[in-house]
Structure 1
Amino acid sequence: MLFRFRSQNLFKLCPKVLATPKVFKSDSSNAETVELAYSSYESTDTDTSKKPPLVILHGLLGSKNNWNSMSKAIHKATGRKIISIDARNHGDSRHSSQHTYIHMAHDVIKLLKKLEISKVSILGHSMGGRTAMVLSLLCSDLVSSMIVVDISPVKTSPQIFTMMNLFDAMAAVSIRTGIAMSKARKLADEQLKNVSPDVNLRNFLITNLIQTNTGTYTWRVNLPALKDNFQSHISNFPTTLKGLQYCGPTLFIGGSLSDYIGKNDLPEIQEYFPLAELVFIDGAGHWVHSQKPEKFLETVCKFLADK
């Protein structure tokens, strides 16, 4: 079941001054960017290739690999080219001591410029959803439409602050050199049980475990940078963007069992995104796309077909 919320503010006009610039001019335009790794899913169908590509941005401690199946499914259903990106300090992308939404948005802008793509739809989950929001506010001409999954610019779930414990637990994991990956994963799981009884969460975290050329095990995410930036940057939406608006088609998708976004958030969301709609997928928590994949796919594809 899917619940949809609308607001009377849907047709509020954006300030004209924000409609013209390609990129919002502020100190953020000097943000130091990094090279991003990405995967693309496309076909040779000339009709469907005319539609803007869909850029997918994963959440904290995730990677583009988490979206492999969903990327293929969205491409098959819509015909759009899909570009799934690893955020800085995640997956195969470069590491940096800086990890803010301004930096991450500029990373994506740089990649799209490199790929010579001038217009995209964008889908972001959690941390990736906030990156998508910031990108659309800073560079509205680049964004054809936007889908934000289980996160908002006006509210933070209390659960998010348990991430500090997860960072510490992951950093404390110790695995001896030279053992098989399957054994290493089991050992990591045993050690992470002390901080999380949720086997699905532990399995998600362990997708970041890698073996180096010397046989040692480490995490591919930059844990020190994520921990250092978490309280001041990652856990909150940047207040410096207050007053900016993105006036393109926007859909917020929440999980009915999640507290990351609520139906009462919509009026404040529309202060940034006047055309935003909000839907909830019944029975889903924070990881809506993996917990209710069929309903999530249907919701995303319907929005992309209409916009």
Structure 2
Amino acid sequence: MTGNIILPSRLMGRRLISTTALRNTPVKLAYTTYDQETSQDKSAKPPVVVMHGLFGSRNNWNSLSKALNQQTSRRIIAIDARNHGESPHTSEMTYQDMAWDIQHLLEKLNIKETILMGHSMGGAAVMLTALTYPYLVDKLVVVDMSPVKTSPSLQEMSVIMAAMSSIDFKGLQSLSQARQHTDKFLSTTIHSPTLRQFLITNVMEDPPGNFRWRVNLPVLVENFSTHIAQFPTIVPRLGGKTFTKPTLFIAGGKSDYIKREDHPGIKKLFPNAEFVYIEDAAHWLHAEKPAEFLKISSDFINS
């Protein structure tokens, strides 16, 4: 079973490097659709739209998207957030922009209602989408992200970004050499091999013989402390909006992104929220414990 890449326009095959051309407008998100196991009445079931976290891409969710498609018999649409993966680069990187991008994609695909799933940064984006456009969302799955507090661990990303920004790709001869060079450089700052391997998937060759970050690193750095790491500050400006439909928060037992003391505050925004912890997992729980994550998320989607 394989996913089919469906591009909504001819622009989807191009890299847009300018950070100003798309200012103040939704971007046309790159996405992959998985529908090999979908039943004949697929139009009757809202599809599941999945957004990755910071520095991720839809490719990180390839195996899980296939499995979710099989377990739920629903179309799964994995998307690249703006400034990530194969989606366009733009100077704007707020959660309002990301929610607008999702709404725009659903409109273009003529999807009237969907189940939204997002991890970390993607979790914040889908929460804001549900709060802003509740009529578009049937259910919501938030993976290790809280709307009421910012994890202290998230602030460590500033150090990681500084290290990534310091890497010089000049003189390197191949993509494998560029990634080895990046891994060695980052090892002095990032001690986790798993995290380093996750980050270096963003090293790409474009054009041939030239290496760069696939993500729009300068814009992510510029917007990190003021926007990306500040999702809870948006909530007071929403005018008391709530999302009352079924919502599932899946958290890592070893993560500090969602604490049990956060539950009352979260339920003020998402009164129909449930919480499930995968005790032996940290922030990237869907990658650390994919079988457990798949069962929890598919059971909720199928309920």
Mapped contact 1:122–1:146 kept (Cα < 8 A): yes
> How much does 1:178 deviate?
5.6
Shift of 1:48: 4.3
The gaps in structure 1 that reach 5 residues or longer are: 1-29
Tell me what 2:278 maps to.
Answer: 281
Aligned pair count? Answer: 277
Counterpart residue number, 1:219: 213
- SS of structure 1 residue aligned to 2:68: helix
Q: Counterpart of 2:17?
A: none
Instruction: Measure how far apart 1:181 and its partner are.
Output: 1.7
Answer 1 or 2: higher relative contact order, Cα 8 Å, separation at least 6: 1
The aligned amino acid for 2:210 is: T
Provide Cα deviations, 1:134-159, integer angstroms capped at 9, x if missing partner: 00011000000000000110011111
The answer as to 2:25 corresponding to 1:35 is: no
Residues 1:303 and 2:296 aligned together: no
Give the alignment of 1:78-227 within 5 angstroms.
78-177=72-171, 179-227=173-221
Whether the 8 Å CA contact 1:245–1:271 is kept in 2: the answer is yes
Could you tell me whether the CA contact under 8 Å between 2:45 and 2:74 is conserved in 1? yes
How far apart in 2 are the matches of 1:31 and 1:130? 20
Structure 2 counterpart of 1:291: 288
Q: Which amino acid letter does the alignment assign opposite residue 206 of structure 2?
A: T
Hey, which bits of structure 1, 4+ residues long, moved more than 2 A?
Answer: 47-50, 175-178
Counterpart CA distance in 1 for 2:299 and 2:160 is 36
* Percent of aligned pairs with the same amino acid: 46
The alpha-carbon deviation at position 34 of structure 1 amounts to: 1.2
Letter in 1 for 2:282: G
- CA deviation vs aligned residue, 1:6-40 (integer Å, no higher than 9, x gap): xxxxxxxxxxxxxxxxxxxxxxxx95211110011
- Cα displacement string for residues 43-76 of structure 1 (whole angstroms, at most 9, x for unaligned residues): 3631345211000010001000000000001001
Tell me, in whole angstroms, the C-alpha distance in 2 between the residues paired with 1:133 and 1:297.
20
Decide whether the 8 Å contact of 2:50 with 2:76 is kept in 1: yes
State the match for 1:55 in structure 2: 49
Tell me the CA shift for residue 255 of structure 1. 0.3
Contact 2:174–2:209 (CA under 8 A) maintained in structure 1: no
- In structure 2, what is the Cα distance between the partners aligned to 1:178 and 1:191? 14
- Given that 1:58 and 1:64 are in contact with CA atoms closer than 8 Å, whether structure 2 keeps it comes out as yes
* Cα distance in 1 between the residues matched to 2:274 and 2:208: 50
TM-score (structure 2 length as normaliser)? 0.89
Q: TM-score, normalised by structure 1?
A: 0.88
Q: 1:103, 1:224 → 2: CA distance?
A: 17
5+ residue gaps, structure 2, are 1-22
- Letter in structure 2 aligned against 1:34: V
**1:249 paired to 2:246:** yes
RMSD of aligned alpha carbons: 1.4
